């Protein structure tokens, strides 16, 4: 008899991602090896637990010996102790045993709740009990820039980036589900920032695609059920039900209201919208990168006549790229900023220079758009 359907679903999702990681890892290790070609077997290595036994240390009960594979890529799971990330950790531990993958885990202590250090230590112990290695807890300081949710996210990703670099990880798995994707799309819609903000979270993102999200096609209930049937203890973060947080209000008030008004299937539709929007946004970004070359003069300046001839969606992307290249922080650049710059092209009436985030200034001079730091 096979595993419970929820367990089978999370394992399959992780297995697919691990195969992608392995393919990319070996392609980079041997760029001349054709894709799909068999690689030589890794040299035999003794289990770290077998070595401990040979040295006279007692065997650890209930743990399966894992061979050391120094030539195999390391994949880390970012684990908060919640159902989504614990389900992800269990699937990674299971699938790594069958593939040439080393598996470890990282939990980030945000220091935002009393006893968070003890909870992080519990998560580390649970990850170690799954035979993940290395496992560690990383404490961070959460600032205030962008609000509490954004500040916590920035601190978390900075810690995960540092951990990935420190351990030489090929990938870091994140437990975002289809429900998280739907929430992200609605938050983007509320900001009115355009199609890119509607594209939600990518299946792979970060430096060289470091972050992987295997569960974007699975709902939150599947992950929780997988933990339940495997008797995996989980922790429910009280912040997830705190109405002080925008995402929490959306999760417990906004989405249920939409489902009541529109019927079931809203989450699936929003997740599908994210993928379609991402495909469109990627295509427009590629078009804009090519179009930018055609609107630059011999000195590299932007020609207003060439910009005016571009479709608005492409032109605004060219302008955004130029403003960011001039030094504006991408996270502080909003649609209204780009609209003001765009009016220098489409509604020119002798306006003065426009001040943008990062002390960047945009102005029109003699048929050219000049963007530079002031």
Of all residues in the chain, the percent with pLDDT exceeding 90 is 71
pLDDT of residue 38: 45
To the nearest 10°, the Cα dihedral for 320, 323, 326, 332?
-100
Q: What is the mean pLDDT of residues 88-96?
A: 98
Rounded Cα distance, 101 and 103, in Å: 6
Rounded Cα distance, 315 and 321, in Å: 10
pLDDT of residue 34: 56
C-alpha count within 13 angstroms, C-beta hemisphere, residue 310:
27
- On whether the CB atoms of residues 270 and 185 are closer than 8 A, the answer is yes
Rounded Cα distance, 293 and 295, in Å: 6
372 bridge partner residues:
361
- On whether the CB atoms of residues 47 and 65 are closer than 8 A, the answer is yes
Q: Where residue 23 falls among pLDDT bands split at 50, 70, 90?
A: very high
CB atoms under 10 Å from CB of 121, counted, come to: 13
Higher pLDDT, 177 or 192: 177
Say which range, 12-21, 85-94, 108-117, has the weakest mean pLDDT.
108-117
- Per DSSP, the three-state class of 359 is helix
pLDDT digits (tens, 9 = 90+) for 322-364: 999 999 988 788 888 999 999 999 999 998 999 999 999 999 9
Whole-number average pLDDT of the chain: 88
pLDDT above 70: residue 68: no
pLDDT above 70: residue 58: no
pLDDT above 80: residue 372: yes
Q: What is the mean pLDDT of residues 301-309?
A: 96
Token pair in block for residue 29: 């290790």
pLDDT digits (tens, 9 = 90+) for 223-266: 999 999 999 999 988 878 888 888 899 999 999 999 999 998 99
């Amino acid at each position: 008899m096979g595993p419970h359907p929820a367990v089978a679903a999370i394992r399959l999702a992780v297995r697919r991602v691990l195969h992608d990681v392995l393919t990319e890892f070996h392609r980079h290790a041997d760029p001349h090896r054709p894709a799909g070609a068999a690689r030589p077997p890794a040299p035999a290595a003794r289990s770290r637990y077998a070595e401990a036994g040979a040295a006279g240390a007692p065997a650890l009960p209930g743990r399966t010996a894992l061979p050391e594979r120094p030539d195999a890529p390391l994949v880390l799971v970012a684990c908060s102790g919640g159902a989504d990330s614990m389900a992800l950790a269990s699937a990674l531990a299971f699938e790594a045993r069958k593939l040439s993958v080393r598996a470890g885990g990282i939990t980030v202590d945000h220091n935002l709740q009393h006893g968070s250090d003890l909870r992080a230590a519990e998560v580390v112990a649970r990850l170690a009990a799954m035979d993940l290695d290395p496992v560690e807890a990383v404490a961070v300081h959460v600032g205030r820039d962008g609000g509490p949710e954004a500040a916590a996210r920035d601190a978390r990703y900075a810690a995960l980036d540092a951990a990935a670099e420190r351990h030489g990880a090929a990938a870091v798995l994140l437990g975002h589900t289809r429900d998280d994707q739907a929430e992200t799309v609605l938050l983007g819609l509320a900001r009115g920032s355009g199609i890119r903000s509607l594209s939600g979270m990518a299946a792979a993102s970060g430096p060289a695609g470091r972050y992987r999200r295997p569960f974007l096609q699975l709902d939150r209930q599947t992950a929780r059920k997988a933990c339940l049937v495997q008797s995996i203890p989980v922790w429910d973060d009280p912040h997830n039900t705190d109405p002080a947080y925008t995402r929490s209000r959306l999760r417990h008030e906004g989405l249920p209201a939409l489902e009541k008004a529109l019927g079931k299937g809203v989450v699936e539709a929003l997740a599908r919208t994210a993928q379609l929007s991402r495909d469109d946004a990627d295509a427009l970004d590629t078009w804009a990168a090519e179009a930018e070359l055609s609107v630059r003069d011999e000195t590299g300046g932007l020609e207003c006549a060439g910009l005016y001839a571009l479709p608005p969606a492409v032109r605004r992307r060219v302008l955004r790229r130029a403003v960011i290249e001039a030094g504006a922080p991408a996270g502080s650049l909003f649609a209204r900023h780009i609209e003001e710059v765009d009016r220098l092209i489409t509604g020119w009436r002798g306006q003065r220079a426009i001040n943008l985030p990062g002390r960047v200034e945009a102005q029109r001079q003699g048929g050219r758009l000049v963007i530079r730091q002031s």
